[in-house]
Structure 1
Amino acid sequence: MIDYKFMKKFIEIAGRLGAQRHLVAIRNGFVAIMPLIIAGSLAILLNNFPVFGNFNMVQLLNHIFGDGNWQIVGNSVWNGTFAILGILLSFSIPYYLAKSYELDELSVGLISVASYIMLIPITNDGGFSFAWTGAQGLFVAIFLSIIITELFRILMKNDRLVIRMPEGVPGGVAKSFAALLPALIILILVGLFQTLVTTLTDTSVFELIFILIQEPLQGLGNTLPAAILVAFLNHFLWFFGLHGTNILAGVIEPIYLPPIESNVDLFASGMSAYDVPYIVTKPFFDVFVYMGGAGTSIALIIAVIIVVRQEKKHPYREVSKLAVPAGIFNINEPIIFGIPIVLNPIFFIPFILGPVLLTITSYFALATGLVPKTVAFLPWTMPPFISGYIVTGGSWRGIILQMINLGISVLLYLPFVMAGVRALKIKLENNS
């Protein structure tokens, strides 16, 4: 028997978590830089063309442009995207957090970027190390963004620290002067903090956070139990009408973006997609588990078409036909709210158990070397089969794994679709 009081409380807490301003800002910050992440990933993928039989695109391009010269474009795109991921987030996250507080978003974002750069260790030749400007600096970017925004908010409440310009001064100039003293105080505090950390630990805050927090979380996230937990929670929330992907994004993406960045980087350096270290990444879920959207919804559409193929005007069939175009691009709201799946006990088991099973099959397929690991970051709207091929570095085995997973999910949905059809028929007969 389900404890409905507990369930109601859980949904209430999950709803609050999904609306929590700091987590929303983190989620929006990642979403804002997503086009750059995808561009960087595809650039590296293009730099590592797969071999098709006797046709080797790399040899052809080397012959035309000179050995490796054609890869300069892809490497440059990488340097402007993945290599500075931490810097990008140190602007986008405080921008959205400041916006939620109705502060000057641009000023807060710029102060945060300046603070982030102040904390980056300087190399022996006087430059910045790319090791800490990219994915390894994600947690510093997140923590720093929140702290800087909150400090700015507190300082702006003190009228003695805000320089007011007379009327008639352009708005941009007035905002810059208003932020001057708070910015100066924040940067001095960051400088003092950097000095303190360096003096006491003889290292940087980046290395400390990476060793103490980020590395253990990435190691834990790369395990099967953690992957199962993510798949379960995402769909458990979706079943109750809560956007599980968005609610969990602020927590999940800092853990699962660095692994794909590491895989892509190693793949770009010449390592095989079979040998890269991380199994569970964000594309792992998007490509092999969430086909058609949450709940592997495209499998539900196929199951409905199989079960009610003789009934042209059946409500399930009509909804599924309308959901097909969106489902191909992993958009599943039409099917989730049209069947519906939300709060429908008939579909509770396949909707939640299916993704968990696919997580297990995908994990073992990649862990045992039957399928290459993920080495590209794709838009989540990339259709199945195309995504499976690209994300595994151009391997047909990625497509085969998607086909197997899709077949498993369809078989799991079939008996429950049959039960749903019978239940709907009884309901319509009773209402007639």
Structure 2
Amino acid sequence: MDRFMDFMERKFVPVAAKIGGQRHLVAIRDGFVAIMPLILAGSTAVLLKNTIFSWIASLEVLIPICDQVWWGSLAIMTLLVVFSTAYSLARSYDANALASGLIAVGSYFATLPQSHGDAGWGYIHWGYLQATGLFTGLIVAIIATEIFVRLTKRDLTIKMPEEVPPAVGRAFAAVIPGMITIFTFGIVFLIVDNLGGISLYDVIYEGIQKPLQGFSQGVGSAMVMAMLINLFWFFGLHGANIFDPIMNALYLPALTDNAAAIDAGMQAPNVITRVFFDTYVHLGGSGATLGLIIAIFIASKRRKEYREVAKLSTPSGIFQINEPIMFGLPIVLNPILFIPFIITPGILTLIAYIGTAIGFAPPTYVAIPWTSPPIVGAFLATGATAASWRAAVLAAINLVVSVIIYLPFIKLADRSRKKETAK
């Protein structure tokens, strides 16, 4: 174990730290965080429409409000992410963030066809703007911002006299870089169109996004993803933040697909969504550390510091915040807790996948806040319907399993303290 820890500290941690601080990944992560209020608003609208407003006849008149909220949030998610990601990336370069965001949005539209089906010219299908367009939108946002920022830093700008208001000066400074950027994507559209493609979106969706999403629905890949997050956490790196761009790009479209299907009265197509992990796997935070806290209360007799940290960490753990126990116990670089901390997410993912796939629990389709308490969160994420109690039971089963996994290792830690005091 000592050799393994030494190897990981020398080889893995420096590389992982670079990945975690990578400018573009950070921009994508911050871009998704920025639109979280809109995602939650849209999910709440879907939830209300399919529960309270549908159950009570007198409230059905309010359903159009939910439809419009969804239309202004989840239905245009890609558009929102394009702007917020470009804005965040430009800020990291200390460039004109507002102009970058606007130009990225314009560039994304420049890659889309101007008609859809028999609708005629000037009609853009909303499918290009919802979550299925995230891959294309993120690629365009990053490339457009890189082009704009590099041109701006080369002073390829129109400089106005000092008397001109700063806002006007910044706008004129962005003219030439912005024009070149959006024309670049207009050329991309022409090339794709002449090569027989419909649009850049269709090329990326069919060639990259669809295969990746199909792969991500496999239980094996989901288990690996959950365990990798904890591997980063074990070495003191925020695994959830590092993998957030990947998780959102792969599993948010699955969540919105489920929501759209259920809203249309059909079967949800995906077992694993973005919320699936917060609902069934990250119980108390990454590594299901609420299970660890409970295991400490049950089995830790000699390690008083464990019990004190567990007491202090319980309130935050209930709301899925585990930094107090992660760094207070600590779990970070703790060789005794390495095995349960890494394997627990994988096992919980497998159990939740089986429970959902066989129909015991309904699929998740509501984007709940990640701070939602375990068990309650499962009930809400599956629509708070008559069948959602089974999702709550599944989350409770996973919590019990996490306690069982951690228990022998807490006893081992207790035994090691006994040996220390006996010397």
Shorter chain as denominator, the TM-score bin is: over 0.9
SS of residue matched to 1:168:
coil
The structure 2 residue matched to 1:380, chosen from 370, 375, 385, is: 370
* Counterpart for residue 310 of structure 2: 320
* Counterpart for residue 45 of structure 2: 43
For residues 413 and 158 of structure 1, the distance between their equivalents in structure 2, rounded to whole angstroms, comes to 56
Residue 345 (str. 1) matches residue 342 (str. 2): no
Residue 178 (str. 1) matches residue 180 (str. 2): no
Q: What one-letter code is carried by the residue in structure 2 that aligns with 1:14? A: A
For residues 421 and 371 of structure 2, the distance between their equivalents in structure 1, rounded to whole angstroms, comes to 36
Counterparts of 1:11-410 in structure 2 under 5 Å? Answer: 11-49=13-51, 58-61=54-57, 64=58, 68-121=60-113, 122-123=115-116, 124-125=119-120, 126-159=122-155, 161-271=156-266, 275-308=267-300, 314-394=304-384, 395-410=388-403
Q: Answer yes or no: is the 8 Å Cα contact 1:267–1:276 preserved in 2.
A: yes
SS of residue matched to 1:346:
coil
Q: What one-letter code is carried by the residue in structure 2 that aligns with 1:127? A: Y
Q: What one-letter code is carried by the residue in structure 2 that aligns with 1:132? A: Y
For residues 324 and 364 of structure 1, the distance between their equivalents in structure 2, rounded to whole angstroms, comes to 29
Structure 1 range deviating more: 116-125 or 330-339:
116-125
* CA displacement at 1:285 relative to structure 2: 0.6
Q: What one-letter code is carried by the residue in structure 2 that aligns with 1:39? A: A
* CA displacement at 1:58 relative to structure 2: 2.3
Deviations 1:240-274 (A, max 9, x none): 11111111112222011110010011111112xxx
Q: What one-letter code is carried by the residue in structure 2 that aligns with 1:38? A: L
* Counterpart for residue 53 of structure 1: none
> Which runs of 5 or more residues in structure 1 are unaligned?
51-56
SS of residue matched to 2:50:
coil
Number of aligned residue pairs: give it.
Answer: 414
Q: Answer yes or no: is the 8 Å Cα contact 2:273–2:365 preserved in 1.
A: no
> Which runs of 5 or more residues in structure 2 are unaligned?
none
For residues 7 and 339 of structure 2, the distance between their equivalents in structure 1, rounded to whole angstroms, comes to 21
For residues 375 and 7 of structure 2, the distance between their equivalents in structure 1, rounded to whole angstroms, comes to 42
Q: Answer yes or no: is the 8 Å Cα contact 2:197–2:203 preserved in 1.
A: no
* Counterpart for residue 54 of structure 1: none
RMSD: 1.7
SS of residue matched to 1:201:
coil
Against the structure 1 CA distance between its residues 428 and 30, is the aligned structure 2 distance closer, same or farther, given a 3 Å change threshold?
Answer: farther
* CA displacement at 1:428 relative to structure 2: 5.3
* Counterpart for residue 411 of structure 2: 418
Deviations 1:370-425 (A, max 9, x none): 11111111111011121111111221001100111111111111111112123234
Q: Answer yes or no: is the 8 Å Cα contact 2:271–2:353 preserved in 1.
A: yes
Q: What one-letter code is carried by the residue in structure 2 that aligns with 1:24? A: V
* CA displacement at 1:33 relative to structure 2: 0.8
Deviations 1:61-92 (A, max 9, x none): 3xx25xx5321111111111111011001101
For residues 68 and 227 of structure 2, the distance between their equivalents in structure 1, rounded to whole angstroms, comes to 39
Q: What one-letter code is carried by the residue in structure 2 that aligns with 1:412? A: I
For residues 221 and 426 of structure 1, the distance between their equivalents in structure 2, rounded to whole angstroms, comes to 45
For residues 59 and 406 of structure 1, the distance between their equivalents in structure 2, rounded to whole angstroms, comes to 31
* CA displacement at 1:335 relative to structure 2: 0.8
Q: What one-letter code is carried by the residue in structure 1 that aligns with 2:220? A: P
* CA displacement at 1:157 relative to structure 2: 3.0
Could you list the structure 1 runs, at least 4 aligned residues long, displaced by more than 6 angstroms after superposition: none
Q: What one-letter code is carried by the residue in structure 2 that aligns with 1:420? A: A
Against the structure 1 CA distance between its residues 387 and 167, is the aligned structure 2 distance closer, same or farther, given a 3 Å change threshold?
Answer: same
Q: Answer yes or no: is the 8 Å Cα contact 1:120–1:133 preserved in 2.
A: no
For residues 340 and 422 of structure 1, the distance between their equivalents in structure 2, rounded to whole angstroms, comes to 17
SS of residue matched to 1:47:
helix
For residues 59 and 23 of structure 1, the distance between their equivalents in structure 2, rounded to whole angstroms, comes to 42
For residues 173 and 200 of structure 2, the distance between their equivalents in structure 1, rounded to whole angstroms, comes to 30
Q: Answer yes or no: is the 8 Å Cα contact 2:281–2:349 preserved in 1.
A: yes
Q: What one-letter code is carried by the residue in structure 1 that aligns with 2:80? A: L
TM-score, normalising length from structure 2?
Answer: 0.94
Percent identity among equivalent residues? 43
